[in-house]
Amino acid sequence: MRYGRGPEILSDISLSLPRGSFHFVTGPSGAGKSSLLKLIYLAARPSGGSVRLFGEDVTAMADTQAPRIRRRIGVVFQDLLLLDHLSAFDNAALPLRIAGHKPSEYRNDVAELLTWVGLGSRMHAHPPALAGGEKQRLAIARAVVNRPEILLADEPTGNVDHDMALRIYRLFVELNRLGTTVIIATHDQDLVARSARPVLHLDKGRLKPLPPQGPAE
């Protein structure tokens, strides 16, 4: 994968992740972690090779078809992409609203999720009034609210303290137990070491699988 005529960001990447697996993606800044997630989310297309999701070749999928695939994927973006004109509650509920669910169907579930990530008293606040860590937790709540088949998280614990990072990790573990495939790109080596999850290590655009790093938390 390359951007325009620039150098290859990802080179000779070949991998297959089983449904329901849980992987970390690690590597130094610029190694291609975010680019790999973009390929999976169809936010970018490969310069060569192919991408298959849910048993379907999506490499050259028409832009009009991409939303059908994206609705099955939850994403925690590094730049969060929250909507400032919506409350925390409405930001978190947005995937359910887009899917056509009525507020009466999801009101209690969204409130419970926001409470779980420590935003129970802030659900009516708008993103400009939230601290950095609160915004991070809101973005995570939005990504997991509809129990996606794949969850992609780009540095999801970057702006939270250690205790909240572990709590967020346990939320991802619970989703994984329910069948969600989880892929987390992170620099948080302490979290990786605690998890005993498989690690995909990127270095200069190339992939090197690593064994699990430590005991499960």
- Cα 194–chain centre separation: 19
Place of tokens 């590094």: 78
Residue 140 CA to residue 74 CA, distance in Å, equals 9
Does 29 score more than 80 pLDDT? yes
pLDDT digits (tens, 9 = 90+) for 138-172: 998 999 998 899 999 998 887 788 888 888 888 88
Domain boundaries 23-210, CATH class: alpha beta
Does 181 score more than 90 pLDDT? yes
- The rounded percent of the chain whose pLDDT value lies above 70 is 96
What pLDDT does 216 receive? 53
**Band (213; pLDDT cuts 50, 70, 90):** low
What pLDDT does 164 receive? 81
Does 208 score more than 90 pLDDT? no
What pLDDT does 17 receive? 93
Both tokens assigned to 123: 């659900």
Both tokens assigned to 3: 């951007």
pTM: 0.86
Q: Are residues 145 and 113 in contact, defined by beta-carbon separation less than 8 angstroms? A: yes
Pairing label, strands 52-53, 206-210:
unpaired
pLDDT digits (tens, 9 = 90+) for 85-138: 999 999 999 999 988 899 999 999 999 999 988 899 999 999 999 988 899 889
Beta carbons within 10 angstroms of residue 63's beta carbon = 7
What pLDDT does 165 receive? 84
- Compute the Cα dihedral for 174, 175, 178, 182 and give only its sign: negative
Q: What does the pLDDT average to over 27-43?
A: 91
Phi, psi dihedral angles at 104 (to 5 degrees): -65, -20
Residue 210 CA to residue 76 CA, distance in Å, equals 24
Question: What angle, 0 to 180 degrees and rounded to 10, lies between the N-to-C axes of helices 162-177 and 132-144?
Answer: 0
- Cα 40–chain centre separation: 10
Instruction: Work out the mean pLDDT of the chain and round it to a whole number.
Output: 89
- Compute the Cα dihedral for 159, 161, 166, 168 and give only its sign: negative
